[in-house]
Amino acid sequence: MGKILDGKAFANELGQNLKEKVKKLKEEGITPHFCVINIGDDPASKIYVRTKKRRAEKMGIIQDIYQMPADTKQEEVLALIDKLNADPEINGLMVQLPAPEQIDADALLKRIDPNKDVDALTPANIGQLWMENHFVEPATAEGIIALLKHYQITLAGKRVVVIGRSNIVGKPVAALMLEENATVTVCHLYTKNLAEITRQADIVVSATGQAFLVNADMVKDGAVVVDVGMNHVNGKLVGDVDFDNVKEKASYITPVPGGVGPLTVQFLMEAVVKLTRRQNGRE
Ligand code: NAD
C-alpha cells in the first residue's frame, strides 16, 4: 500500500517558518499585504478566497478581498488593478478565477504588475518560468515539486505524466518538472489512449477536475500519484484519482483533501512574503 504524501502536515511545517519570517519583517516595520479580486458569485471561488484569508491571518499577512458584483465591467476591474499596482502599501494582488463571461481574464492578468503577481500568471512571469529564471511560481505547481522533494522522491530522469494542461496547474507543473530534469508528457482532453501513457509513468500528476478519472489500471506498480483535482461528488470532496484502489498500487499518493490543496494556499503566502521582501530590498 502506498505511503501518504501528507501535504497538510508539510504545509503546517512551512507555515511555522513563514510565520517567523513575517514576524521579523513586522519588527522592521514591514507587513506583507496583498489583495484578492473576486468577481461574481462562484461558490467555490468564495470558499477559496476565505481559505486564503484564514491562512493569511495565521501567517500575520494582511489580505484584502475586493468582492465585485457579477455584472462588473472589464474597465472597472482594470481600474482597480491599476490602483493596486500603483499603491506602495500593496505588495501583491491576484484575480480569483473563473471570472464571469463578460470579463476577459487574460487581459486582467496581463495588467497585473509582474512584481506584485503572487499567482505568477502574468505573461512575464510565465515566460520566466519556462526560461528557468523565475522568482515566483504558480503555487500549486511549486507545492507539488516541494512535496515530492520533501519526501525525497527524485525527479531527475523520471517519466512524469501530467494530465491537464491549464495555465494555472498543468503547464506550470510540466515546466517545473522539466527543470528538475524529468521526462515530461502532458495529456489532456484530446489525448488518445490515456491509460497507455499513464501506465508508463513513474510519477502521475492529475489536474483535470474529473472525479475518478485515474483508476488502478492506469497506474503502474510503485508509481507516485499526485492528485490535484477538487471535485464534489455527493457532497464529498474527492480528487481525480480513485484513491482507495490506486493507493494499493502506488508507492506514494496524495489524499484529497489534505494533499496538494493546503500546499497551494501555503505557497501563495510564501509568494506574498517573497515579493514583499524583494520590494523592500530584502531578497
Ligand atoms: P481546467 O478546467 O482549466 O483544466 C482541466 C484540464 O484537464 C484541461 O487541460 C483538459 O484538457 C484536461 N482534461 C479534462 N478532462 C480530461 C480527461 N477526461 N482526460 C484527460 N484530460 C482531461 O482546470 P484546472 O484549473 O487546471 O483545475 C483542474 C482541477 O484541479 C480542478 O478539479 C480544480 O478544482 C483543481 N485544482 C486544485 C488545486 C489545489 O490546490 N488542489 C488548485 C487548482 C486547481
Q: Is the Cβ atom of 195 under 6 angstroms away from ligand 1?
A: no
Quote the ligand 1 centre to 173 CA distance (angstroms): 12
- Residue pair 265/238 in contact (Cβ under 8 Å)? The answer is no
The C-alpha cell of 154 is what? 527524485
Contact call for residues 132 and 145 (beta carbons, < 8 A) = no
Here the cell at position 89 is 502599501
Identity of the amino acid at 121:
L
**What residues contact residue 186 under an 8 Å CB cut-off, 6+ apart?**
161, 162, 165, 170, 171, 174
Say what the pLDDT of residue 283 is: 76
The secondary structure element, H or E, covering residue 168 is none
User: Where does residue 109 rank: exposed (0-12), middle (13-18), buried (19+ CB within 10 A)?
Assistant: buried
Positions annotated as catalytic residues are 52, 96, 119
Nearest to 273 by CA among 42, 38, 25: 25
Residue 281 Cα to ligand 1 midpoint, Å, equals 37
Q: pLDDT per position in the chain (283 positions), as tens?
A: 899 999 999 999 999 999 999 999 999 999 999 999 999 999 999 999 999 999 999 999 999 999 999 999 999 999 999 999 999 999 999 999 999 999 999 999 999 999 999 999 999 999 999 999 999 999 999 999 999 999 999 999 999 999 999 999 999 999 999 999 999 999 999 999 999 999 999 999 999 999 999 999 999 999 999 999 999 999 999 999 999 999 999 999 999 999 999 999 999 999 999 999 999 999 7
CA–CA separation, 137 and 88 (whole Å): 22
pLDDT value at position 249?
98
Q: Is the CB of 169 under 6 A from ligand 1?
A: yes
Largest CA distance in the chain: 56
Fold of 29-113: Rossmann fold (3.40.50)
Residues forming beta bridges with residue 184, ordered by sequence position: 160
Q: Which amino acid is at 280?
A: N
Measured CA to CA, the distance from residue 263 to residue 247 in angstroms comes to 20
Give span(s): CATH 3.40.50.720, the chain.
Answer: 139-261
| pLDDT reported for residue 89 | 97
Q: What is the pLDDT of residues 105-157, one digit of tens each?
A: 999 999 999 999 999 999 999 999 999 999 999 999 999 999 999 999 999 99
DSSP 208-249: SS-TT-B-GGGS-TT-EEEE---EEETTEEE-SB-HHHHTTT
Distance (Å, whole) CA 61 – CA 33: 6
To which H or E segment does residue 59 belong?
Answer: helix 43-59
Q: Is 141 exposed, middle or buried (0-12, 13-18, 19+ CB in 10 A)?
A: buried
Residue 196 has a pLDDT of 98
User: 178: CA distance to ligand 1 center in Å?
Assistant: 20
**Is the Cβ–Cβ distance between 143 and 128 less than 8 Å?**
no
How far does the centroid of ligand 1 lie from the alpha carbon of residue 234, in Å? 19
- CATH number corresponding to 139-261: 3.40.50.720
**How far apart are alpha carbons 119 and 112 in whole angstroms?**
10
Ligand 1 mutation target, pool 230, 237, 254, most atoms within 8 A of CB: 230
| CB of residue 228 inside a 6 A radius of ligand 1 | yes
CA-nearest residue, atom 42 of ligand 1: 140
Q: Is the CB of 186 under 6 A from ligand 1?
A: no
Is residue 192 helix, strand or coil? coil
Kindly report, as residue ranges, where domains of CATH 3.40.50.10860 are found in the chain. Answer: 29-113
The set of cell numbers assigned to 123 is: 505573461
